[in-house]
Chains A and B, each alone.
Chain A
């Protein structure tokens, strides 16, 4: 026993490459502690400011490590271009969600320190997930991102919907985690390895490609990951959770979780499970097609914007999978590009929803009526977001879809490209009504369009503006502008995601 232990040495850690993670987790601790201070100003404004600082610092560290490819902690984690890009996405989503949550009721109810440090920890979990090259780390990352999100979903303590959403997410999410863990256990059972690289060599060496245990493991893993990425038919928690959770949390979840899940799917299936490609590809294709159909069809006729966006996110996840199943570098690039585009559109949309929710107390599509006349910036951003999600040319969404379809055609799966197009066509039927609602004039002046109640004259307007907050408007404006700019000048995006697989197998 002693001899075994004696051989255990502390792992080599490249602190520079490790620094982005430390930024997030260290930030979480600091935010938690600062959240204890007694002056209300510090709690309400200092804490979110510090959160943004932590995300910002992480982005700074990322840029510092931009061209590095380092394997960390004995290959448990890797810092490569994919990790960096996913972390970047998570941090941008984090900053945007923090801005949206600045005046959020939920943050006040469960204390600012807790709310924002949970956000940071979830972000850290996402980074671990995307960077992991070991089954154990993968699972740790997954739980690290899931647990804080369960709490965040339920963070509006006095709202039944929020509590319900948190509880549902917890229970169904646990089923997903358990399935994934089961899959990992079987994978370990089949190969005797937890390292992705080790699994790969073992599978090739032992010729496990047709092995029942190995394939069952892949199946379980697929289901578990499909869960986290909210892919149909494992999507059902998504609409309920998205609707009930506080909007900033929904915004963060919809964007960042998806990015992390897609990151780990690409990494796991492009390396460790690559030998089984002929077996797992049809399963992923089926899930992608079902997701595109179920997501788009389910979004039709929804009256709640958040529910509609939840279904839309299922469809978008389906589109993203198309980039995975072709298993080419172009496919991986298309996935990351689409993640960027999706982030812009979703954050813009959720920013507008946050503002409207605070003004009218509802996220119904009807609550957007007359927004075009009252606040052209918000309405413009929302319009761009909807058009981008639908993939209309001159928005970033078009570039993203174009790349995905190109990747599909390039990989010999043109028909999947056609499925994307068909899905997008259906999606117009629920994106365009949102746009139409915004630019339609108010039904009656002086009547709150969402509730039908008369709006109090005078002071009410100012109070609304105060509650809406300029932070959310800023997020909407920036994201909207980015959608337009990248829709017309996509070159920077192409350059950003170029070489996404650079340093992919290092270690």
Chain B
């Protein structure tokens, strides 16, 4: 099997899974659908591993393989093919996507098993994986856009999965609208580049960029910034981030897979994939780094104050992705992608553990209600600790090495980039604080009633199922969450999936240790980034400093958090009272929703009302729609009126037509 074949098979597996589950809906039992979905992704992972092995078997220079099935279009001098591009970067992505997805599918088999839409869930989930793989394997910009849009659609379907929950459908629509804004950016940006270059395939695109564009060419910068808008929307970066917290309305495995581990990292992947172009347009890269840094800070502060368990992790995700975007824009590719990978592991794990906690709380998500779950759910607690330690970059955990590598590479560039280096560490401070705030509040202290009940061996069930967001009463029929809840302690599929990720969260750092102890990861990615024009001068002092600083921050701040949230009853409130303005700002998420509302929604709504009342009624309704549909309708009745069924009428019309044609030709002749 060649590299290409294996890569195509990676793509084919989830597609086959989607089709089988979607079309075989009536024949398959829900259980079978779940296992088919899971095994399809597992098979995709297996083929991804084969792809990796085959790719590594090639010489370092040849480790980028393009393969095309057929031409989609070949018009106007532009050739677009259904082609994939396999190089270390895309192989890394397919490994992460299929690996984490397989585990989350497994988790969902248990977690979702009482849901009425079980089959539909797996069809969607498989479709998402297919779209994501299409995105990362795409061999040209057009196919990438297709994958990009598919991923957005899959995300929409999964956020609104419980389609009878009003909050879920609203969140789905919000996510979709913002994603479409991003899609538009991406398409326009692509247009800027294609107009100049005339190719869409990645290979020729990267080779020709330096000759077609001057460095920092305005049209290139404009194109890249538009593409960044696409990346920002998908990766929930300021100010297009507001959909991500709302997306937590989806089932927890979805949050884990899409809104933590894979889809939201698409922006990071996009920047890394297009790095030759970004490096050639440094202005755009700087813009990206600034937005990433802003997101890192803003999301961190919000994460410190929100009380919804899933939303805390969601803001943490935003902030971590801000860090990655900042990293890859600052040409810290290896560190950025390394962090992408470890983040996928520990963030997926945190969400899975959160799902287990929420199940134990009978669907409640508020941190205010949780307390002392430590004894009741030892396994979940262990996983939460593993994920939390990794997230807060506790020494020797995977997150420690990846964050360290990322910030070190940023710092290596020196000059103005030092600002970003510092911001990265400020972000780290907040990361540790909000992570452990969440942990201490949920697991320490006196057990809450639900925890006591669970310790007594009985899983708490609500008498009435309500929407945690607005308290609406729900029944458990189709379109709402199922009646039964599943916790990791009692469901082996969840346990297996979480254990695997916990091990990865702890150990994955070993493939890329500082001071050149291990450099497997860097060596692996080298062929992709060999053409980078950014140099990273060695700086041993900075490296040592970084390692020490990260360790000190993590250990020290965990202790501080312990003082505030675990033992110091009331200390947190005291802080809140001391800084009321700041707290209000953070709790209200920096008023971003309101800002967007004021800046975009209201003017657009006003303009819409104005248009509807004046412009639309007169011009559109009257002239265009009324006119067009009127013309069509009138034409339709005219055609039918002529269709009398009488032969003489037909013959008459024929004669008229014949006369017209003849008249035309005789006039031509004259």
A interface list, Cβ under 8 A from B: 168, 171-172, 175-176, 179, 210-212, 214-216, 218-220, 222-223, 227, 233-234, 236-237, 239-240, 279, 282-283, 293-294, 297-298, 300-301, 311, 402, 406, 409-410, 426, 489-491
Contact = CB atoms under 8 A, between A and B. Distances in A.
Interface stretch (B256-264, B366-374, B511-519, B631-639): B631-639
B600 interface: no
Interface in B650-670: 650-651, 653-654, 656-658, 661-662, 664-666, 668-670
B633 to A, nearest CB: 8
B542 interface: no
A410 B70 CA distance: 21
B639 A294 contact: yes
A212 B632 contact: no
B645 interface: yes
Interface in B600-659: 632-633, 635-636, 639-640, 642-643, 645, 647, 649-651, 653-654, 656-658
Contacts of A293: 635
Given A216-B669, A219-B662, A489-B70, A301 B650 contact: no
A282 B658 contact: no
- What 7 pairs between A and B have smallest CB-CB spacing? A298-B639, A212-B669, A219-B665, A215-B665, A297-B635, A491-B70, A233-B657
A504 B649 CA distance: 40
22 contacts: A171-B651, A175-B651, A211-B669, A212-B669, A215-B665, A218-B665, A223-B661, A234-B653, A236-B654, A239-B643, A240-B643, A283-B661, A283-B664, A283-B665, A293-B635, A297-B635, A298-B639, A300-B633, A301-B640, A311-B639, A410-B75, A491-B71
Contacts of B666: 212, 215-216, 219
Contacts of A311: 639
A234 B657 contact: yes
Nearest to A213: B669
Contacts of A240: 643, 645
A300 B643 CA distance: 13
Interface residues of B, number: 32
A459 B243 CA distance: 57
Contacts of A216: 662, 665-666, 669
Contacts of A489: 69-70
B73 interface: yes
B664 A219 contact: yes
A175 B648 CA distance: 12
Contacts of B662: 216, 219-220
A236 B650 contact: yes
Contact of A210 (B636, B640, B643, B668): B668
A210 B639 CA distance: 35
Contact of A236 (B73, B76, B642, B665): B642
A172 B650 contact: yes
Contact of A234 (B73, B654, B669): B654
Contacts of B76: 409
Contact of A223 (B639, B650, B658): B658
B158 to A, nearest CB: 22
B632 A297 contact: yes
Contacts of B73: 402, 406
A298 B640 CA distance: 6
A41 B636 CA distance: 48
Given A297-B636, A489-B70, A491-B69, 9 more contacts: A175-B651, A175-B654, A176-B654, A216-B666, A219-B661, A222-B661, A236-B654, A293-B635, A410-B75
Nearest to A279: B668
Contacts of B643: 236, 239-240, 298
A279 B665 contact: yes
A289 to B, nearest CB: 13
Contacts of A236: 642-643, 649-650, 653-654
Contacts of B642: 236
B632 A300 contact: yes
A176 B655 CA distance: 10
A376 B389 CA distance: 53
A239 B586 CA distance: 69
A315 to B, nearest CB: 11
A410 B77 CA distance: 11
Contacts of A227: 654
A233 B632 CA distance: 17
B34 to A, nearest CB: 23
Nearest to A237: B650
Contact of A215 (B651, B657, B668): B668
A118 to B, nearest CB: 23
A160 to B, nearest CB: 12
Nearest to B26: A376
A298 B635 CA distance: 8
Contacts of B649: 236
A426 B632 contact: yes
Contacts of A294: 635, 639
A172 B647 contact: yes
Interface in B133-174: none
B27 to A, nearest CB: 11
Nearest to A405: B75
Contacts of B653: 233-234, 236
A161 to B, nearest CB: 11
Given A171-B647, A297-B632, A406-B75, A215 B654 contact: no
Contacts of A239: 643
A214 B666 CA distance: 10
A240 B646 CA distance: 10
Nearest to A233: B657
A214 B669 CA distance: 9
Contacts of B70: 489-491
A490 B81 CA distance: 12
Contacts of A237: 650
A294 B636 CA distance: 8
Nearest to B629: A429
Given A236-B650, A239-B643, A294-B639, A179 B669 contact: no
Interface in B72-105: 73, 75-76
A179 B657 CA distance: 12
A219 B666 CA distance: 9
A219 B669 CA distance: 11
Contacts of A298: 636, 639-640, 643
